[in-house]
A and B are shown apart, each in its own frame.
Chain A
Amino acid sequence: MKEILSNKYLQILLRLIIGGIYVYVAWNKLVNPEEFAKAIKNYDMLPLQVINIIAITLPYIELFAGLFLIFGFYKKGSSVILGLTLVVFIIALTSAYARGLNIDCGCGFTSTTQEASSKTDLLVRIFQDILMLLGVVIIYLFGDKKKDAEPVPQIENQTT
């Protein structure tokens, strides 16, 4: 199993898919920060004072983390960031689902104006995010270890 998950081509494929999705959704969010801010507000989970700052910065964090993941730089760092965002999204979506909110999820999959999501849509989004989180964990744990791992101290031959 470890060998399969560490497979170079699987890793590249996962990075391209997850990084690509993140770049796409980040772009949809950052071209219209006001709509994204409204979507965050709809969740009714954050103080109003911080909503715009999150709406301004989060899409760029997603964009850069997605790009770093695609190009294979800072894979561990970018996968941790994307993993954390996914955990937050899963919590927010689950909370919205539990509260029966009919809201635009703000997931960035469409660039149209706000549309309320049905409860089924929210469930689909939660499922998608869980799958992506799984992919991110695989990248983190089984990505190119040689490149990202801590340098192993060399034991030099002290013999003279």
Chain B
Amino acid sequence: MAKIFKQILIITVLSIAVAFLVNWINPKGIPLVMDMSKYSTEQSDKLKEEFLNNPYDTTENTKSLIKNPRLNKDGFVDPQNIKLDFAKILYHKKALFIDARTPEEFAQGRIKGAINIPYDVFHNKTKEEKTEMLKGLNKNGIIVCYCKGGDCEISIDLAYDIARLGFNSVNIYIGGYGEWEHSGYPVEK
């Protein structure tokens, strides 16, 4: 038995040493700890609290309620990552949910009432075409972008594309359709 443990130890130590060495010199190497800041929903509870303290109908023009839009250095309001509980509250307040997935995925199942703006299509449009596609949407209304959830990033990318066009309250529901459906919340097909 001791001999087998010794073999396991040798193979494991050798593998780990080579793995870290290669990762260190490899241009495709990754950091030892995953950068999860773009998926972080740390601020979601705070945003929810602020919203609950100052609730309003998200379908109405909320410009007066967004007192000091926090513009970033590029001149637009950064989209905010939100969690399931806050997404559900916004859903009941009739926020506009935008599904960033493909039309096929959208057809297979979506958050009830969501509209589909496939990121792959939208991203390749010109600014004028994008503006045209979003014509009729309230720039001060609350928007919630989502995709399938998990590691899916297209909801984040779509949210930034939309925010750059001057939309002031764009949110990203990180849990996505997967979490929403799994939680038994309203979906449609």
Binding site for B on A (CB under 8 A): 30-34, 37-38, 41-42, 44, 48-49, 51-53, 55-57, 59-61, 63-65, 68, 74, 76-78, 80-81, 99-103, 114, 116, 148, 150
Contact = CB atoms under 8 A, between A and B. Distances in A.
A73 B16 CA distance: 18
Interface in B17-70: 18-20, 22-23, 28-34, 36
A77 B7 contact: yes
A153 B4 CA distance: 18
Given A32-B28, A33-B23, A60-B22, A78 B34 contact: no
A60 B19 contact: yes
A48 B39 CA distance: 11
A64 B15 contact: yes
Given A33-B23, A51-B34, A61-B12, A77 B150 contact: no
B34 A41 contact: yes
Instruction: Enumerate the 9 nearest inter-chain pairs by beta-carbon distance, A residue then B residue, closest first.
Output: A77-B7, A60-B19, A74-B7, A60-B15, A61-B15, A38-B151, A57-B19, A64-B15, A77-B8
Nearest to B182: A100
B16 A61 contact: yes
A60 B3 CA distance: 22
Given A48-B34, A55-B30, A101-B178, A61 B11 contact: yes
Contacts of A68: 11
B71 interface: no
Interface of B: 1, 3-8, 10-12, 14-16, 18-20, 22-23, 28-34, 36, 148, 150-151, 178, 182
B120 to A, nearest CB: 13
Contacts of A116: 148
Contacts of A78: 7, 11
Given A42-B150, A48-B34, A102 B178 contact: yes
21 contacts: A33-B28, A37-B30, A52-B30, A52-B31, A56-B32, A57-B19, A60-B16, A60-B22, A61-B15, A63-B15, A64-B14, A77-B5, A77-B10, A78-B7, A80-B7, A80-B8, A81-B11, A100-B182, A103-B150, A148-B3, A150-B1
B6 to A, nearest CB: 8
A97 B32 CA distance: 29
Specify which of B1, B32, B150, B178 lies most central, judged by the most chain A CB atoms within 10 Å of its CB: B150
A38 B30 CA distance: 11
